[in-house]
Amino acid sequence: MSAPATPRWDLDDMPDLTGQTWLVTGSTNGLGLETVRVASSRGARIILAVRNEALGQKVASQLGDADVLRVDFSSQASVQSAANQVTEQVDVLINNAGAATNSRQVSEDGFEMNLAVNLFGPFRFTNLVLPRVKRRVVVVGSMAHKQATFDLDDPHFERRKWTKPAAYGQSKLGDMIWGAELSRRIHALRPGVDVQLSHPGWAATSLTNPTPSKALNRLFDVGVAMLGQPPTKGALTTLYAATEVLPNNSYIGPDRLYEFRGHPKPVGRTKEASDPRLAAHLWDLVDHATSTADVVETKP
């Protein structure tokens, strides 16, 4: 006789969040929007850390207790300014904001844009806000890390050929490596705070359409409709990682179809994403870059 199936975690399993404050980046669309909608419906106070302040205010008006924090993660000056405005205690910080450019772009600080938005900005923001985080940091990664390598000698594609998969994948592998190292450092210094990582599978978000071609993007839309899942389902892994009792540095992804879709469960990551020596080197690289970046007046 076979063993009974393990119950699959769903929105009905979300705990009551009354009294908690969640700071969620990139929360005006896609996974971030679904995350704040659910957290707010369970009683959490929400701080929406967003680039588009007007859209953020519109989302905030649809939630319960919510405020908007303007931040452009491609700008170190904006990150610094936004972090300075976080003065209240935060139970959960969710690093969800992300970018996937169709050509090589460079931020105002001289960073390759995918790396600037997906890693360098969140790294600095988290470090600055961390003293006010009471319980958990969640880093939203990606399956793209499994096909990526991180080039410590040329992270900004100044000498090697830039391609969208290579640049985006490197930035998300960077998130995985950073999350693991952040977890190790927090565990040593702040026993009451932990770090969890998650990925949404193949979710229908603004990052789903990976080319400038509308025709090709329509094919991707068909693919995600058949094999992937909507943001409402993709956000489950983030919500699980934010609320469940988990070992430090867990990695949560969907449980079906090679992690493309399904309900949350602990999943595996690549050897490179778990390499402690690489993590130490990457931390030093990003810390040096974000500490010495030219901090200019934030643009209006």
Q: Which residues contact 175 (CB under 8 A, 6 or more apart)?
A: 95, 118, 119, 122, 139, 140, 141, 142, 145, 197
Cβ atoms 232, 34 nearer than 8 A: yes
Q: Which residues pair with 194 in a beta bridge?
A: 136
Q: Where are the beta strands (DSSP E) in the chain?
A: 21-25, 45-50, 66-70, 90-95, 133-140, 194-198, 251-256, 261-266
Structure confidence at residue 257 as a pLDDT band (50, 70, 90): low
Beta bridge partners of 290: none
Statement: the pTM of the whole predicted model exceeds 0.85: yes
pLDDT in tens, 213-227: 555 545 445 444 445
Q: Which two tokens stand for residue 170?
A: 């490197």
* Of 95, 92, 94, nearest in space to 20 by CA: 92
| pLDDT tens-digit map of 24-41 | 999 999 899 999 999 999
pLDDT at 211: 53
Average pLDDT, the chain: 87
Of 265 and 10, which is predicted with more confidence?
Answer: 265
CA gap 136, 242 in Å, rounded? 7
pLDDT digits (tens, 9 = 90+) for 112-160: 999 999 999 999 999 999 999 999 999 999 888 899 999 999 999 999 9
How do residues 154-201 score in pLDDT, each as one tens digit?
999 999 999 999 999 999 999 999 999 999 998 878 889 999 999 997
Q: How far apart are CA 244 and CA 129, in angstroms?
A: 22
